[in-house]
C-alpha cells in the first residue's frame, strides 16, 4: 500500500469528520511500512488521525491513553527521521506539534519550533515550509509578543503570496485581525475577520467556519460588554457540535455569567466541574476553555473552584489563551491566574502574577483589564494602590473606546473614594446626571446651574469666589464704593491723637498702649461695599441656586447634603470650606 502524498493535517487543524475508516487506513500504513521513511510518515499520519478519535467515538479509550499513544508515535517518527532528508524531518517535527497540540506539549514546543525554523530553508515542499512558519507566528502570539508576531506575519504573507493553498493565503489575514483586537482596534479586527470569512465560504471545514466567526464576534461582544447578544448563537453551535460540546458549554456559561444570568450559568458550570473538569479534554482548546472557566468561577464567586482552576492554569500563566492557529485570543492567562489567586486569599502571589503580565505585554485592552483586575484584588489590603489602578484602567479603556468597561473601572474608582480613599469625585455623565461621591455619602442629581456653581466651589476648597465669577453674565456691571463702618468724626479724632503721640515720641507704657490701640482701630475698621442693583441680584440668584442644589443632594443623600450645607459659605463671595480641606475631582465631558 502506497502512502498518500499529503498527511491529514486538517484532522487536527480544522476539525473535519474523523471516522473509523480514516484511522484504520493509517493503522494499516503503520503495520505495512517497512522502510524508515515510510514508517515515519505513517506514524505521523496515525497520530493525526487519532487526535479527535475519542471525541468522535472511533476509539473506546480514555483521552489520556490515546494522548500517550500519539506521543509515542511522534517520538518514534522523530527518531526515524533523525538522519533523513529535510522534508521528512520537517514532517516528523510538525507531527509532534500537531499530534500533541495541547497543554501537555507546551514545554517541548519552543525547541521543536526553533528546529523547524532552522530546517525550513532546506525544505522543498511548499506546504511544509508554510506550516513551519505558521508555528513561528503562533509561538509569538502565545507569549504575547505582538511586534514579533507582526514581523513573522509579514514574512509568512510574503512567502504565501504565490501559493494556491487558500487556507494559508487567508490565514495571515485573520492573524492581522487577531493582532488588531489584541492592540485594542476592535472595530478594525471585526471588519478584517468578517471580510476574511465572507471570502472563504468555499473552503469547507477550514478554520474560517461559522464557529470561528462566533468566537471572534464573542470576543468583540465581550469588549462591548454585550455577550448577551450571542447567547442564542452559542446555544445553536453547542447543539450542533457534540465533539467539542464541553468547550461550547463553557462558552455559553461564560456569556450567561457575563450577562447576569447566573442560575443557568451555574448549572452549566456545575456539570463541567464534575470529576475535576474532566470533560474538558487536554487538547488544543483546553487552555482557552479553562481560562473561561476561571472567569466564570470568579463571577459566581465559587471559592473552591477558584482554587482548583487557579492551580490548573498556574503553569501556563506566561502564555496567552490563543484560539487554534492564532485567529483569536482571550489574552494573558496570567490575568486570570492573578485574579484567582487573589480570590483564593493569596495576595502576594496575585501581585507577582499581575506584575508579570503588565511587564511582558504591550499596552492594550488586556493590560488595561489587568489593571482593573489588580484594583479589585487590592481593594481590601491596598485601597490606595487599587484606586491608582482603577483610575488608570478607566482612562485607558475610555481612550480605547471601550466605554462599557471604562464605566466599570470608573464605578470602582467612585466606590473607593466613597470609602474615603483619594479625593471625593463629582462626575457629569452623558445622561446629564452628576454623580457625587464622598465619604459623607453618594448622590445622583440632574445637571443644572446650581450644580455647576457647586462643583466649581468643590474643586477649590478654602477659596472664596465672587458671584460674578460663578455667573459671568453679571461681571463688570455697576460700580463699587467703599465706606467705613466707623464714625467719620471719630476716625478724624483718632488720627489727630495718634499724630500727636507720634510727634512726642512717647515712652510711657500707658501712652504706647494708647497709640497701639489707635493704630488697630484705624487699620481694622470694616468696610461695606455699595454695589449696583444687578450685582446684588446676581448674589441673590447664585445663593438661591446653590441652596437648591444642596437641597437636591440632601434629598437623596442626607449625610452628603448635611456636609455640603455645613461647609458652604454664600454671599457676595461664595466658598466651600470643609474641615478636612479636601478638593473634589470634577470630571465632566469636554
Q: 168-174 long-range contacts, Cβ below 8 Å, gap at least 24?
A: 168/127, 168/130, 168/134, 170/196, 170/199, 170/200, 170/203, 170/208, 171/134, 171/207, 171/325, 171/327, 174/207, 174/208, 174/212, 174/326, 174/327
Res 15: pLDDT: 53
CA dihedral 512, 518, 523, 528 (to 10 degrees): 160
Pairing of strands 585-587, 425-428: parallel
SS (HEC) of 76-136: HHHHHCCCCCHHHHHHHHHHHHHHCCCHHHHHHHHHHHHHHHHHHHHCCCHHHHHHHHHHH
Strand partners for 433: 446
Nearest 5°: the CA angle 458, 464, 467 is 95
Length of the chain (residues): 590
Cβ neighbours of residue 73 closer than 8 Å, sequence gap 6 or more: 30, 43, 44, 46, 47, 50, 95, 99
Res 246: pLDDT: 93
Q: Is 116 exposed, middle or buried (0-12, 13-18, 19+ CB in 10 A)?
A: buried
Neighbours of 124 (CB within 10 A): 10
CA dihedral 117, 67, 307, 275 (to 10 degrees): 160
**Residue 575: strand, helix, or coil:** strand
The one-digit pLDDT tens for each residue of the chain (590 residues) are 577 778 988 888 765 555 788 899 999 999 999 899 999 999 999 999 999 888 777 888 898 999 999 999 999 999 999 989 999 999 999 999 999 999 999 999 999 999 999 999 999 999 999 999 999 999 999 999 999 999 999 999 999 988 887 778 778 888 999 999 999 999 999 888 878 777 655 554 444 456 677 788 899 999 999 999 999 989 988 887 777 889 999 999 999 999 999 999 999 999 999 999 999 999 999 999 999 999 999 999 999 999 999 999 999 999 999 998 898 999 999 999 999 999 999 999 999 999 999 999 999 999 999 999 999 999 999 999 999 999 999 999 999 999 999 999 999 998 898 888 888 989 898 899 999 989 899 999 999 999 999 999 999 999 999 998 898 775 554 444 444 445 666 667 777 777 877 777 766 776 777 777 677 667 665 444 445 678 888 999 999 999 999 999 999 999 999 999 999 999 989 999 998 888 998 987 76
Distance in angstroms (rounded) separating the CA atoms of residues 554 and 548: 10
Q: Which residue has the cell 507720634?
A: 502
| Contact by Cβ (8 Å): 574, 543 | yes
What is the tens place of the pLDDT at every residue in 530-582? 456 788 889 999 999 999 999 999 999 999 999 999 999 999 899 999 988 88
C-alpha cell at 402: 471601550
| Contact by Cβ (8 Å): 25, 4 | no
Res 381: pLDDT: 93
Res 484: pLDDT: 46
- Within its chain, how far is the Cα of 366 from the centroid? 4
Task: Name the H helices within 109-244.
Answer: 109-119, 126-142, 146-160, 166-182, 186-198, 210-224, 231-240
Q: Which helix (H) or strand (E) holds 555?
A: helix 533-556
Strand partners for 435: 427, 444
pTM, rounded to two decimals: 0.80
Phi, psi at residue 140, to the nearest 5°? -65, -40
What is the tens place of the pLDDT at every residue in 258-299? 999 999 999 999 999 999 999 999 999 999 999 999 999 999
C-alpha cell at 399: 481612550
Res 135: pLDDT: 96
| Contact by Cβ (8 Å): 437, 562 | no
**Residue 320: strand, helix, or coil:** strand
Amino acid at each position: 500500500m502506497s502512502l498518500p502524498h499529503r498527511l491529514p493535517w486538517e484532522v487536527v487543524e480544522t476539525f473535519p469528520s474523523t471516522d473509523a475508516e480514516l484511522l484504520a487506513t493509517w493503522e494499516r500504513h503503520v503495520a505495512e511500512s517497512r522502510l524508515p521513511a515510510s514508517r515515519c510518515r505513517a506514524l505521523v499520519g496515525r497520530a493525526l488521525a487519532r487526535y479527535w478519535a475519542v471525541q468522535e467515538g472511533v476509539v473506546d479509550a480514555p483521552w489520556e491513553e490515546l494522548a500517550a499513544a500519539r506521543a509515542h508515535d511522534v517520538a518514534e517518527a522523530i527518531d526515524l527521521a533523525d538522519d533523513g532528508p529535510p522534508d521528512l524531518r520537517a514532517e516528523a517535527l510538525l507531527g509532534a506539534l500537531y499530534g500533541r497540540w495541547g497543554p501537555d506539549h507546551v514545554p517541548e514546543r519552543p525547541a521543536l519550533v526553533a528546529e523547524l525554523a532552522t530546517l525550513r530553508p532546506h525544505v522543498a515542499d511548499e506546504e511544509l515550509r508554510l506550516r513551519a512558519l505558521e508555528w513561528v507566528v503562533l509561538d509569538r502570539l502565545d507569549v504575547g509578543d505582538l511586534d514579533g508576531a507582526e514581523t513573522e506575519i509579514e514574512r509568512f504573507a510574503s512567502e504565501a503570496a504565490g501559493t494556491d493553498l487558500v487556507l494559508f493565503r487567508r490565514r495571515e489575514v485573520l492573524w492581522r485581525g487577531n493582532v488588531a483586537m489584541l492592540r485594542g482596534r476592535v472595530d478594525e479586527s471585526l471588519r478584517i475577520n468578517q471580510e476574511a470569512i465572507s471570502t472563504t465560504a468555499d473552503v469547507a471545514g477550514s478554520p474560517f467556519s461559522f464557529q470561528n466567526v462566533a468566537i471572534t464576534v464573542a470576543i468583540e461582544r465581550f469588549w462591548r460588554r454585550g455577550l448577551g447578544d450571542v447567547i442564542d448563537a452559542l446555544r445553536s453551535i453547542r447543539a450542533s457540535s457534540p465533539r467539542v460540546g464541553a468547550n461550547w458549554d463553557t462558552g455559553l456559561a461564560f456569556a450567561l455569567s457575563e450577562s447576569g444570568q447566573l442560575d443557568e450559568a451555574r448549572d452549566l458550570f456545575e456539570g463541567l466541574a464534575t470529576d475535576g473538569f474532566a470533560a474538558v479534554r487536554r487538547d488544543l482548546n483546553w487552555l482557552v476553555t479553562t481560562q473561561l472557566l476561571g472567569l466564570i468561577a470568579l463571577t459566581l464567586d465559587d471559592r473552591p473552584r477558584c482554587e482548583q482552576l487557579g492551580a490548573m492554569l498556574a503553569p501556563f500563566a506566561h502564555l496567552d489563551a490563543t484560539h487554534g492557529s492564532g485567529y483569536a485570543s482571550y489574552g494573558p492567562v496570567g490575568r486570570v491566574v492573578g485574579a484567582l489567586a487573589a480570590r483564593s486569599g493569596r495576595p502576594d502571589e496575585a501581585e507577582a502574577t499581575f506584575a508579570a503580565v503588565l511587564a511582558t505585554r504591550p499596552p492594550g485592552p488586556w493590560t488595561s483589564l489587568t489593571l482593573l483586575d489588580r484594583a479589585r484584588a487590592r481593594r481590601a489590603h491596598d485601597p490606595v494602590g487599587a484606586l491608582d489602578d482603577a483610575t488608570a484602567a478607566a482612562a485607558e479603556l475610555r481612550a480605547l473606546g471601550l466605554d462599557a468597561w471604562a464605566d466599570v473601572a470608573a464605578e470602582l474608582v467612585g466606590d473607593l473614594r466613597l470609602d474615603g480613599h483619594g479625593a471625593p469625585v463629582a462626575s457629569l455623565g452623558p445622561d446629564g446626571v452628576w454623580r457625587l461621591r464622598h465619604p459623607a455619602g453618594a448622590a445622583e442629581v440632574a445637571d443644572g446651574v446650581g450644580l455647576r456653581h457647586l462643583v466649581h466651589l468643590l474643586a477649590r476648597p478654602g477659596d472664596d469666589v465672587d458671584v460674578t465669577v460663578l455667573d459671568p453674565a453679571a461681571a463688570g456691571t455697576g460700580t463699587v464704593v467703599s465706606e467705613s463702618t466707623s464714625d467719620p468724626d471719630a476716625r478724624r479724632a483718632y488720627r489727630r491723637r495718634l499724630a500727636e503721640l507720634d510727634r512726642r515720641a512717647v515712652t510711657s507704657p500707658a501712652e504706647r498702649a494708647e497709640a497701639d490701640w489707635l493704630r488697630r482701630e484705624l487699620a481694622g475698621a470694616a468696610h461695606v461695599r455699595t454695589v449696583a442693583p444687578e450685582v446684588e441680584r446676581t448674589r441673590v440668584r447664585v445663593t438661591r441656586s446653590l441652596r437648591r442644589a444642596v437641597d437636591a443632594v440632601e434629598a437623596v443623600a442626607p449625610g452628603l447634603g448635611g456636609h455640603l450645607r455645613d461647609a458652604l459659605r454664600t454671599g457676595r463671595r461664595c466658598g466651600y470650606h470643609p474641615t478636612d480641606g479636601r478638593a473634589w475631582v470634577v470630571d465632566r465631558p469636554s
